[in-house]
Amino acid sequence: MREPKWRESGEDPDYRFSLANERTFLAWIRTALAILAGAVLLEEFSTKIGPHWVTVVLAVVLGALSAVLAVVAYVRWRANEIAMRERRRLPLTVAVPLIAAVVLAVAAVLTVLIAIYGR
């Protein structure tokens, strides 16, 4: 595999920081996979709550969030690596409030559906 251009700039960070950054990347990927599993579970087994189209929309939203998080995980990992190489502050991320907002919205809608249609 060809080494990316950005790895030629700055100096190599302490390997412990690079490994910690990699573990963080993997945690984001696990989160994306868990959200995707929730989307599949919701669509597959939500026969008793609300109109089916609403649960399908919620599942699609969760699936899209999962895909976005997978991309954000890589972008964030790369940005952190570059910042460490150039001895800059680590960049902020929009992923945390994004996850919180989407999961809050889906949870709120599901709670209402369960309260209305649940048996």
In a domain, 7, yes or no: no
Q: Would you state the pLDDT for residue 117?
A: 86
| DSSP for residue 9 | S
In a domain, 33, yes or no: yes
Q: Is residue 50 helix, strand or coil?
A: coil
Phi–psi pair at 66, nearest 5 degrees: -60, -45
Q: Would you state the pLDDT for residue 7?
A: 85
CA distance 27 to 5: 26
In a domain, 3, yes or no: no
- Judged against a pLDDT cut of 90, whether residue 63 lies above it is answered with yes
In a domain, 6, yes or no: no
pLDDT in tens, 6-41: 888 888 989 999 999 999 999 999 999 999 999 999
Q: Would you state the pLDDT for residue 39?
A: 95
pLDDT in tens, 70-102: 999 999 999 999 999 999 999 998 889 989 999
Confidence class for position 48, pLDDT limits 50, 70, 90: confident
Q: Would you state the pLDDT for residue 41?
A: 94
Q: Would you state the pLDDT for residue 9?
A: 85
Count of structural domains within the chain: 1
Domain carrying residue 107: 13-117
Cβ neighbours of residue 70 under 8 Å, at least 6 residues apart? 28, 29, 32
In a domain, 5, yes or no: no
Cα–Cα–Cα angle for 99, 57, 47, rounded to 5 degrees: 110
In a domain, 95, yes or no: yes
